Structure 1
Amino acid sequence: MIYGENKSKLLKIITSCTIILITLVITYIPIAIPGLQQKLVIVSGTELQAPLQTLEAKFRQSNPQIKLELKFQGSQELVNRYINKRDDFQPAVLIPGNGEILTDISDRLRAIYKSEPFYDSPQPIAKTMLVGIAWPERGKILFPNGRFQWSKIEQAMQVINWGKIGGASSWGSFDFVMTDPTRSNSGQLTLDLWIKSESGVRINSTSFINLSVRSLLSLIKKSVYQPPRSTDILLQEFIVKGANQADIATVYESVALHRWQQSIATQGKPYQIYYLDPSMETTATAAIIRPNVDANTANAARKFLDFLTQPEQQAVFVQYGFRPVNDTVDVTAVANSPWNQNIPGAEVQPNITLLPAPTSQAIAEIQRLWERVD
C-alpha cells in the first residue's frame, strides 16, 4: 500500500517536472536556437530608417521569439519592387511614406490574386509634411519675405545663374534638388503641389495636354540632375555638397528636423526650414501582406505594429522629427524633441493649409508625366 502511494507521488512529480520542462522549452528555445524564431521582414520607406532601427532593439527585448529583418527603399520603389518580384526576400509588412500608395498595391494585388491583399486595414504609424530647405544666404535672396514660393524657384531655374536674381555671381548656377518621383513619395508631393500652383487644377489624365504643365515639368526635369531615389539620401547629399552644388530642396519635415545638427557639423551652419503653403501631410502607413504570408507571421506583424503605435514608441518617432499618430503624445513634451531646439524655421503649429496627399490615380499620373516629358 505504501509502495503504491509512493509510486503515485513519484508519477505526479515526474508529470509536474515534465510540464515545467516543456514550458521552459517553449519559452526559451527560440532564443537558444535562432532558426526556430519567427522571422518578420519589414520593408519601409527610408524616411523611417533611423527610428525603426532604434526601436528594433527595444522590440527584440520584449519579443525575443520574433526576429525582425528591416529593409529600406524609396516609398514608390518598395511597391514596384514587391509587385514585380524583384526582391530576394518575402516581406510581411510594407510601410510606404504615404498611405495612398497602399491603395495602388491593394488594387494590383487584388487583380492578381482575386482576394483581399491585406490581413487587416492599413495602420498609420507616423506623420510628417513636405517642407522646403535652403542655405540661409540663398533663402534670403530667393524668398526675401521669408515665405517659400514656387514661382521664385521657377524663375531661378529659367535664368540659371544666381547673379541674375540678386545673388553673387560667384555662387554659380542655381541648384534645386528633389527626389525621383518614380521612386519616392516626396518627389511626387513636390510635383503635385508645384503643378497645382502653376495651373490651379488637380492632376488627371488630361494634364499632359496642358501646355503650362508640360513646360513646367520640362524645365524641372532639365534642371534637376540625377534626382536621388529617397528623401533621406537626398538630404544627406544636400548637406555634404553644400551651397553651390545644392541650394534649395524639398524634403520631409521629419528628416529636415532630424539632420539639422549634421548640417552644422558639416557646413558650419544649419539650413533654414520653410513651410510650404499649401503643403501636404503624408502618413507612413503599414499593411500586413496576405499573399505568401502565413497566419503566425501575420500575428507577429500585428504585435510589431501595435508596439509602434504605443505612446512610448511614438515619442521616439517625435525625437526623429515625426508627428505622432497617437493623439496622447505632445511633441513639445517629449524629451529631446526637435521642436524644443530652436531649429531655424521649425514650428510646432505652422499657419498653413494642409492638403490631402495625392490619390493613387494622381500618383500614377505624376509618374507618367515625368517619364513622358523631355
Structure 2
Amino acid sequence: MNKQQKKNRLLTSIAIILASLGLTYAPLPGLNTETTVTVVSGSELQEILPELEAKFEAENPNIDLELKYQGSQDIVNKYIDDGNDFTPTVLIPANGEIFKELESRWRSQNNSEPFYNKPEPIAKTMLVGISWPERGRVLFPNNRFEWQRLKDAMLTGNWEKIGGKLEWGSFDFLTTNPTRSNSGQLTLTLFAKSEIGGGNLNPVSLNNFQVEFLFDLVKRSVYLPPRSTDILLQEFITRGPNEADVATVYESIALHRWEQSQTTQGRAYQIYYLDPTIETVSTAAIASRNVSDKTAAAARE
C-alpha cells in the first residue's frame, strides 16, 4: 500500500466517523453558554479524533470538546468504579462487546440505564502485526505472519538461534496488557486459536495445557505491557530494532504512525495482515452518569 492509499484510507475512516456520529456542525439552539463534552476513546482513534475536534469546535463555538484516551477495558472499569477525575460524556471503546460487559456490570449495581442512547458503531479496524523489515524477513520468510514462528522465537528468545544476526540480541515481542486493552485480548485470542488448531475458544480449550503454557510464555516474554495500543506503538517506534522487534496493534494506528517510524528510525515498519484476524468496530454511546440533558444533546451533535 503506497502513501496516497494510506491517506485515502484515513480520510475514509474520518468520513465514516463524521457521518456515523451525526456531526452536522449546525449550531445548537438554546445553548448560550459553553457546554463541555468529554469523549473517552480507545487509543485506536487517537490520531483521528483531534482532526474532528478542531473542525467541530470551529463550527460549534458553544461546545468545548475534550478528548481522553484509555485502554478499552480501562474505559469500562473506570466508568463502573467512577474512577475518572472527569465526567465522561461519550464512551468509545474498541468494540460493542465491551459495552455489553459495561451494561451488565452497571445493571448489577444500578436501577437506571447506563446510556442515553443505544451504542452505535462508528469506525472499523482490525488487528495486524508489525515488524522492522530486516527482522520480518527472517521471522516470516514467506512474508506471512505466522503465530507458530512467533511462538518459536519467544521460546528461543534469541535472534541468532532462529536465523537472525548475533548483534540483534534477544527477541522482543510487544502487545498490550489484556486486562486493560482490547488489542491485548484480541492478540491472546488469535494466538490461542492458532495453538489449538482453530475453532472457537471455550472454558475447556482455555484450560488446555497448550493454551495455559502459551499464555504463561507471553506473560514471561512481554515486559511491562502498555495499557493502550497507541502507547505501545509509540514505544515500538522509539525503542526501534533490538529493543522492539514484533508487535500486534490496530491497523488504523499502524497506518497513522507508519511515516513517524520512517522519520524516527530511518526505515518504516512492515505491516502484516493476519489470517485469520479479528475485526473490531469502535462503538460510541452517550453516558448517563452525571451527564445533563443539555450535555447529552450537545454530544449528539
Shared fold per TM-score greater than 0.5 = yes
- CA deviation map 1:101-156 (0-9, x unaligned): 11111111122222322121111121111000011111111111111000000001
User: Which stretches of structure 1, 4 residues or more, deviate above 6 A after TM superposition?
Assistant: 26-29
CA distance in 2, matches of 1:87, 1:115: 20
- CA deviation map 1:46-102 (0-9, x unaligned): 221221112111111221121212111111112111111111111111101122111
| TM-score of the superposed pair, with normalisation by structure 2 | 0.87
Which residue pairs with 2:295 in the alignment? Answer: 297
Shift of the alpha carbon at 1:291?
2.9
Shift of the alpha carbon at 1:160?
1.0
- SS of match in other structure, 1:249: strand
Summarize the alignment of residues 209-288 of structure 1 with structure 2, pairs less than 5 Å apart: 209-288=207-286
CA distance in 1, matches of 2:296, 2:208: 46
Amino acid in structure 2 at the alignment position of 1:265: T
Count of aligned positions: 273
Alpha-carbon RMSD across the aligned residues, in angstroms, is 1.7
- Of 121, 125, 147, the residue aligned with 2:122 is 125
Quick one: structure 1 residues 230 and 29, their matched pair in 2 at CA, closer, same or farther if it must change by over 3 Å?
closer
- SS of match in other structure, 2:180: coil
- CA deviation map 1:289-310 (0-9, x unaligned): 123222211111111xxxxxxx
Amino acid in structure 1 at the alignment position of 2:167: S
Amino acid in structure 2 at the alignment position of 1:277: D
**Contact 2:169/2:242 (<8 A) preserved:** yes
- CA deviation map 1:145-192 (0-9, x unaligned): 111000000001111111111111111111111011111111111001
- Of 52, 63, 67, the residue aligned with 1:66 is 63
| Structure 1: unaligned runs, 5 residues or longer | 1-25, 31-35, 304-374
| TM-score of the superposed pair, with normalisation by structure 1 | 0.70
Shift of the alpha carbon at 1:242?
0.8
Amino acid in structure 1 at the alignment position of 2:294: N
More helix by share: 1
Larger C-alpha radius of gyration, 1 or 2?
1
Amino acid in structure 2 at the alignment position of 1:113: N
Report which stretch shifted further, 78-87 or 144-153. Answer: 78-87
Amino acid in structure 2 at the alignment position of 1:286: A
CA distance in 1, matches of 2:116, 2:107: 13
- CA deviation map 1:272-291 (0-9, x unaligned): 11000000111111011123
Which residue pairs with 1:346 in the alignment? Answer: none
- SS of match in other structure, 1:39: strand
1:92 aligned onto 2:113: no
- Of 119, 141, 146, the residue aligned with 1:144 is 141
Which residue pairs with 1:161 in the alignment? Answer: 158
Report which stretch shifted further, 66-75 or 124-133. Answer: 66-75
CA distance in 2, matches of 1:277, 1:201: 13
- CA deviation map 1:237-295 (0-9, x unaligned): 11111111000110111111111111111111111110000001111110111232222
Amino acid in structure 1 at the alignment position of 2:155: Q
CA distance in 1, matches of 2:97, 2:206: 22
Which residue pairs with 1:43 in the alignment? Answer: 40
1:57 aligned onto 2:37: no
CA distance in 1, matches of 2:211, 2:29: 61
Report which stretch shifted further, 208-217 or 275-284. Answer: 208-217
Summarize the alignment of residues 176-191 of structure 1 with structure 2, pairs less than 5 Å apart: 176-191=173-188
